[in-house]
Amino acid sequence: MNSLFDLTGRIALVTGSSRGIGNALARALADAGATVVLNGLSPERLKAAEAAMAADYAPGRVHSCAFDVTDDAAAASGIAWVEENVGPLEILVNNAGIQHRVPMLELDVKDWERVISTDLTSAFLVGREAARHMIPRGRGKVINICSVQTDLARPTIAPYIAAKGGLRNLTRAMTAEWAASGLQINGIAPGYIHTEMTQNLVDDAEFNSWILGRTPANRWGTVQDLAGPAVWLASSGSDFVNGQTIFIDGGMTVVV
Ligand code: NAP
């Protein structure tokens, strides 16, 4: 592998990586040489994901730590566990996220707050804790998983749109405060990616044909499409890339 993109010996935590995009990103970082720590809410699902992944890599390359990314104290002890049991955290991917679809006039404030705290506040809590360890070492990569809804709105997903838009600006705020200490903080904004979270949309013939027509590449994205950009932003190949959000969406956000 080109040494610019080699992650050998680097320790990465990917939140929400028991399945879906997070799991694929964890595998992409491990394929580039990183030692990875998986995270999720459900300990059973996380242990199963760890066992499945560990079978594909050398012993000691795959770990897991279940904690709720919306809980300040849990995020702090999760990061402390990684530092003590795996080693110095160099790469954090803030990926955990949820969706909640309901028209805004019927949206309960509890659901608004649940989405905002999972999709936005979590990146502040886990990111702040990781940065407290990275800054004294003078190096670290934080990748915040945004969305095309960072830039574009649609009906029925108001809290998700607000959270993902906020996450892009949080990426800039982290850059403003931490870049001088040697950290690079960037965002990846995936387009419509076929995962468990979007299976109902793929199965909806009308929505599916709207997506294909609306995407210049004329297809859904795959988790594999996100691997290269994630490895790049986690590697030394992006050491002067600061505060950017990279859209990986088959061109959706550049056309009307
Ligand atoms: P997913 O398949 O539903 O997986 C979500 C993951 O997040 C699971 O591992 C889940 O853990 C974890 N999680 C949820 N709440 C958590 C919490 N409070 N604490 C810790 N972990 C938590 O989701 P996905 O489709 O892969 O999406 C992943 C990210 O990509 C999200 O930020 C999403 O907004 C973004 N994204 C997705 C798409 C898409 O098309 N799928 C497009 C753009 C952006 P458990 O398994 O324990 O529940």
Average pLDDT value over all residues in the chain = 97
Q: Which amino acid appears at position 139 of this protein?
A: R
Q: pTM to 2 decimals?
A: 0.98
Residues with active-site annotation = 160
Ligand 1 close to Cβ of residue 252 (< 6 A): no
Ligand 1 close to Cβ of residue 22 (< 6 A): yes
Predicted confidence band of residue 2 (pLDDT cuts 50, 70, 90): confident
Ligand 1 close to Cβ of residue 193 (< 6 A): yes
Q: Is the pLDDT of residue 115 over 90?
A: yes
Q: State what percent of residues in the chain have pLDDT above 70.
A: 100
Dihedral sign from CA coordinates of 222, 225, 226, 227:
positive
Q: Which residue puts its alpha carbon closest to atom 44 of ligand 1?
A: 147
Position 32 scores a pLDDT of 98
Query: In a mutational test of the pocket of ligand 1, which residue from 65, 101, 195 has the highest number of ligand atoms less than 8 Å from its CB?
Result: 195
Enumerate residues 6+ apart whose C-beta is below 8 A from 237: 2, 4, 5
Q: pLDDT tens digits, residue range 46-71?
A: 999 999 999 999 999 999 999 999 99
Please state the rounded mean pLDDT for residues 104-112.
98
Q: pLDDT tens digits, residue range 194-219?
A: 988 789 999 999 999 999 999 999 99
Q: Which residue puts its alpha carbon closest to atom 2 of ligand 1?
A: 20
Ligand 1 close to Cβ of residue 69 (< 6 A): yes
Position 198 scores a pLDDT of 87
> Residue by residue, what is the 3-state secondary structure of the chain?
CCHHHCCCCCEEEECCCCCHHHHHHHHHHHHCCCEEEECCCCHHHHHHHHHHHHCCCCCCCEEECCCCCCCHHHHHHHHHHHHHHCCCEEEEEECCCCCCCCCHHHCCHHHHHHHHHHHHHHHHHHHHHHHHHHHHHCCEEEEEECCHHHCCCCCCCHHHHHHHHHHHHHHHHHHHHHHHHCEEEEEEEECCECCHHHHHHHCCHHHHHHHHHHCCCCCCECHHHHHHHHHHHHCHHHCCCCCCEEEECCCHHHCC
Position 196 scores a pLDDT of 80
Please state the rounded mean pLDDT for residues 22-45.
98
Q: Is the pLDDT of residue 1 over 70?
A: no
Q: Is the pLDDT of residue 91 over 80?
A: yes
Class of 2-193+223-249 per CATH?
alpha beta
